[in-house]
A and B are shown apart, each in its own frame.
Chain A
Amino acid sequence: MKRLVLTLALATVLVACLAGTAGAVTLVFEAEHYTWIKPSMRVGTGDSNGSDSGGHIYIPLRPRHGEDESGPADDGNATYKVYVPVAGDYTLWGLVRWYDGCGNSFYVMVDDMNPENPAYITDARYQQWHWVKGRTYRLSVGYHLIRFQYREDGAKLDQFLITTAEDFVPTRHMPETPAYLWRPSS
């Protein structure tokens, strides 16, 4: 509870600062700093040729990767409880590294953890860290859940961000905004 109070207090101060930046709000989260994680989603460290600064999450490659088209073997996921300081339309971006055309997506769920047609992020750039654009979500002030879930094995996520800046495109590893992430006390 104490951690929650402190986090909210800090968030309130930062809201004042962020709101002063002419309205644009960008919140950045490190993937390995999840609130909850469920196997087969795992935390990885170290990766060549990338912007991976200290860790990432990933779904390990399965045997006969790409040959089995039956879908994800489980619902392994990482969930983040984030605090949105200003209501608005937030576009989600993920800093990802895909394995190949059969390992190039994550399901993304925001607040609704059992959607009928879950959204996913994907593109066709492989074996390199890069940002991929997701959907835009209308978020109210307060806590929201964001989940990245197993859709294809071999996919990795280093960071993700949500932003109200319409024209902003992340192109590099971003400084984290940890004050907007709730994590259970260990």
Chain B
Amino acid sequence: MPEVEIAGVGKLQMLPDMADGDWVFVGKLTPQDLGALKLAVALLYQPDSGDHYQLRLGAKEAQFFLVTKGKSQPLGRAGSPGVLLKPGQQTDLAVRRDGWNLSLLLGGRLVCAAQDATLAAGGLGFAVSGAVLAEPILQFIGDMGFEDDFMRGTEERSLWQPVSGSWQEESLRIDPQASTMQEARSANAFSYLGRAAQGRALTVAGYWFWSGYRVQASVRPLGGGAAGLVALYRDPDNYLALRWTPRASTAGDGNRLQILQRVAGEERILAETPGGFRPEQWYQLALAVNGPWVKAYLDGELLLSARNEAFRQGKCGLLVEGNAGVNFDDVVLAPWGYFADDFLDGSRWDAISGKWERAAGRYSTGGTGLLLGPPIDWPRFAFNADAHVDKGSAGLVVGYRDAKNYTLLRYSLTSGGARLEVVQVTEGQEKVLASAPAERVAGLAVRLGLQVDRNVLAGEVGDTRLLWALLPAVPTGRLGLYTSSGGWFSFVESQRMEPPPVAHVTKEFRDDKEHWEMAAWATRRSPWLIPPGLQVEREGNLILRDFSSPSEFGNHVWWTKGTYFGDKAVFFKIPSWGRVSGTARVTLDARRGAGGEVLGGYTLAVGAKAGSKALYLGLSAADRALAETTVTVEEEECAIEFAHLGSFLQVRVNDNLVLQTAVSG
């Protein structure tokens, strides 16, 4: 390996890879002489300046440092490896970079952590004495996520790796009708059955370096015992679990939902709440982990929160106790970005202006002040905090790049009450993007909140959404807290939001030729009412007639069956992009006329011509043109998103925003 000399450390062996984004540096560490053990790892090393982060690990202490211009500054808190290092015993060493977080794990256990966003990319290297560090590699974290409804053909490999107990895919519904059903025609033909003849049955999926995720599954316990989910799994003796026991159980741990932590084979309950399951009933469990935060959900409702100081990475899994077994279905794993601070335990906040004090769960200042927290690069997120001001204003900052560039949701006390504003600061110039009157809460803290959906920001006071604003771009940067004339903040929380799930139809019912009686509700055409001109009657049911070519389809209006409220978006693709001609219109928030015609609403007109990569897009409200554009779509696919968010219409083509306009409602 190439070598770099660093003052105070000596020569470091450098990995050939450059690190950026989120990653894990791993190696196998075998101490030989604990008294002489010294490991220095240079992280994000800048070859021009020599600046870098440095991890220093000895037998008694480990800590991160920021080294700039040759000077070291400690970051975070020191930790002690304790019994995790033993002479002659190999242990996994992992140094993680997650956002602005740095963490050291030995044997999968957290030793020390720090937060800093000064350096974003650079080299990695290490120097070691008193030990051997073998097989160092740089593992990028990348996207994580999967879904499993256990409906797979014989050729597809299972995602799951059974650890203990018995696990099998069950191909028939478990109910009295099962004997009359055929798996090819069942809506829920497949599930995953786990059983534990003794102890606990576990099966896992994913990768060892996964972190910051939420795992969710439909769960149907078949008897006593327990059912649950696993996260941050390293091995059978080290993981987090959500464990649920039966309502009818009289055991000491019966009739309750628990978050438990298993460390080196010993278990500790981190949080629990009374209430157990009834057997033979389907439920939805979810377990979410990010950094030290753990949350558990039952049927979509948050029931448990806990802190985990042991683990930071690992696979997800399913858990069963008892021989009756548990069916699992519809397992979904998705990234879960989350940050919270009750200001009790010293997470990093940087005072950019003003003098801030942290005490008794509050961060307060006497005058104008700006306090910065973690950087966020999520396309959709919520951010809220409890704020208390007696005069002037308080606010939430997002997308902070520097003192002249950020977005502020500002709550100001006025003579007549209060006002909420979205203020965009660009190169030091303030511009109010949106403004609305707000309730003034005398003598009490007010809950300020915002939700960002790419470049649309919605502002809230309490639980009331008061305004929307179009931002110039997705607000990527640090979160912050602001006051103009003193005040305090408590309990800050930010969470990444995923787009709501799209309704899908089970594969079996797409073929309605044999089951035309299902066509009205269960095919991919089921969310839409078939236009009268395209219907034919078959044995008392109206279904879509057959077509021999697309040209026979004609010009008809298809209406959804449901009524949709609030923010909404429609996604569709133009098939055979570049080789078809025609126009299509999609309308949101419309009413259906007596003759099926479209009344009101907002319409996106899409036009394409065969042989051309030009796509016409036009927005209108009734007969009034709002905005239009023509874009060139060079890709093989043309995927369109038409969204109505708050008081804005947006059109995206292949995830690129191409058209947007403000509307009144």
For B636, list chain A residues within 8 Å (CB). 46-48
For B207, list chain A residues within 8 Å (CB). 169
Given known A122-B157, A165-B135, A172-B140, contact A47–B152 (CB-CB < 8 A): no
B48 within 8 A of A: no
Q: Is the CB of B635 within 8 A of A167?
A: no
A185 within 8 A of B: no
Q: Is the CB of A167 within 8 A of B142?
A: no
B25 within 8 A of A: no
For A49, list chain B residues within 8 Å (CB). 635, 637, 639, 654-655
A10 within 8 A of B: no
A-B pairs, top 4 by smallest CB distance, nearest first, are A171-B142, A48-B635, A171-B140, A48-B654
Q: How far is the CA of A49 from the CA of B634 in the complex (A)?
A: 12
- Residues facing A in B199-249 (CB within 8 A) are 207-209
Given known A123-B157, A172-B140, contact A46–B634 (CB-CB < 8 A): yes
- Residues facing A in B128-175 (CB within 8 A) are 133-137, 139-143, 146, 152-153, 155-157
Which residue of B has the minimal Cβ distance to A121? B157
Which residue of B has the minimal Cβ distance to A151? B155
Which residue of B has the minimal Cβ distance to A128? B143
Q: Is the CB of A168 within 8 A of B137?
A: yes
Q: Is the CB of B134 within 8 A of A22?
A: yes
13 contacts between A and B (CB under 8 A): A22-B27, A22-B134, A22-B136, A23-B135, A24-B137, A49-B654, A101-B153, A123-B157, A130-B143, A167-B26, A167-B139, A171-B140, A172-B142
B1 within 8 A of A: yes
A124 within 8 A of B: yes
4 extra interchain contacts, Cβ-Cβ under 8 A, other than A49-B654, A123-B156?
A21-B15, A22-B136, A120-B155, A122-B157
A20 within 8 A of B: yes
- Residues facing A in B346-399 (CB within 8 A) are none
Q: Is the CB of A47 within 8 A of B635?
A: yes
B16 within 8 A of A: yes
A95 to chain B, nearest CB (A): 12
A interface, CB within 8 angstroms of B? 17, 20-24, 46-49, 101, 105, 120, 122-125, 130, 165, 167-169, 171-172
Given known A46-B634, A124-B152, contact A22–B135 (CB-CB < 8 A): yes
Given known A46-B635, A46-B636, A169-B207, contact A122–B155 (CB-CB < 8 A): yes
For B654, list chain A residues within 8 Å (CB). 48-49
Q: Is the CB of B136 within 8 A of A122?
A: no
For B155, list chain A residues within 8 Å (CB). 105, 120, 122
Give the dominant DSSP class at A's interface: loop
B639 to chain A, nearest CB (A): 8
Q: How far is the CA of A120 from the CA of B637 in the complex (A)?
A: 27
Pick the contact of B637: A48, A122, A171 (CB < 8 A): A48
A100 to chain B, nearest CB (A): 11
Which residue of B has the minimal Cβ distance to A175? B17
Which residue of A has the minimal Cβ distance to B654? A48
Pick the contact of A167: B152, B157, B208, B639 (CB < 8 A): B208
B613 to chain A, nearest CB (A): 11
- Residues facing A in B626-661 (CB within 8 A) are 634-637, 639, 654-655
Q: Is the CB of A169 within 8 A of B139?
A: yes
For B134, list chain A residues within 8 Å (CB). 22-23
Q: Is the CB of B635 within 8 A of A171?
A: no
Q: Is the CB of A171 within 8 A of B141?
A: yes
Q: Is the CB of A21 within 8 A of B635?
A: no
Which residue of A has the minimal Cβ distance to B141? A171
Which residue of A has the minimal Cβ distance to B134? A22
B39 to chain A, nearest CB (A): 14
Q: How far is the CA of A46 from the CA of B635 in the complex (A)?
A: 6
Q: How far is the CA of A46 from the CA of B634 in the complex (A)?
A: 8
Which residue of B has the minimal Cβ distance to A48? B635
Which residue of A has the minimal Cβ distance to B208? A167
Q: How far is the CA of A47 from the CA of B146 in the complex (A)?
A: 22
B553 to chain A, nearest CB (A): 19
Which residue of B has the minimal Cβ distance to A104? B156
Q: How far is the CA of A17 from the CA of B634 in the complex (A)?
A: 41
Which residue of A has the minimal Cβ distance to B1? A20
Interface centre among A22, A49, A168, A172 (most CB of B within 10 A): A22
Q: Is the CB of A167 within 8 A of B156?
A: no
Q: How far is the CA of A105 from the CA of B152 in the complex (A)?
A: 14
Q: How far is the CA of A169 from the CA of B636 in the complex (A)?
A: 29
Q: How far is the CA of A79 from the CA of B146 in the complex (A)?
A: 31
